[in-house]
Amino acid sequence: MPTLEHKPAGLAAARFFPTGLKPCWTGVVLCLAALALMATACKKDVAMEAIDSDANGYLCLKCGAKLYTARTVFIGPQCPKCQQQSLMDATGYYCEKDHHLTIRPSRQDPQPVVCDVCKAPLVNAMRLPREKDLKAWGATKVSS
Ligand SMILES: [Zn+2]
Ligand SMILES: [Zn+2]
């Protein structure tokens, strides 16, 4: 008897739906708000990561010294290793493909920087290297 079986189910739905509606929608709205917050926080982090760093990287064009300092410490253009006026700021170029940060002196070069790993040109991929990136690059810390 399909009609009899159907009826209690229909009644149950009619009874529970109006009361269940409000908390359910509040939950959905809260969920969406949380998701929106997470999305904006996420976007902000990525943007901040590109311009924010905890260290300054340097490369000497004369002796090839790779150095870094704390964010608040600035050195150069005199190289502490060879004493030449050839210390350049180093900056990073991030490869989306292999998540590798290629570090180069930040001079205006018409040639795009090429990824250390996959050799693809990295255009508009500039990102300030962080201490861990500079360490991985082989830089040593200079304290003053
Ligand atoms: Zn040097
Ligand atoms: Zn690459």
Distance 123 CA to ligand 2 centre (A): 12
Bridge partners of 114?
Answer: 121
Residues lining ligand 2 (ion), CB within 5 A? 95, 97-98, 115, 117-118
pLDDT band at 144 (very low <50, low <70, confident <90, very high): low
> Which residue in 58, 67, 32, 84 sits closest to 142, CA to CA?
67
Rounded to the nearest angstrom, the distance between the alpha carbon of 127 and the centre of ligand 2 is 14
Domain locations along the chain: 1-52, 55-141
Burial string for 1-20 (b: 16+ CB within 10 Å, else e) reads eeeeeeeeeeeeeeeeeeee
Grade residue 136 by pLDDT with cuts at 50, 70 and 90. very high
**Is pLDDT at 135 greater than 70 in this prediction?**
yes
77 CA from centroid of ligand 1 (Å): 10
Neighbours of 90 (CB within 10 A): 23
Find the 58 Cα to ligand 1 centroid distance in Å.
10
Angle (CA) 33-37-40 rounded to 5° is 140
Is the pLDDT reported for residue 90 higher than 90? yes
pLDDT in tens, 26-79: 777 776 777 777 676 666 666 666 677 899 999 999 999 999 999 999 999 999
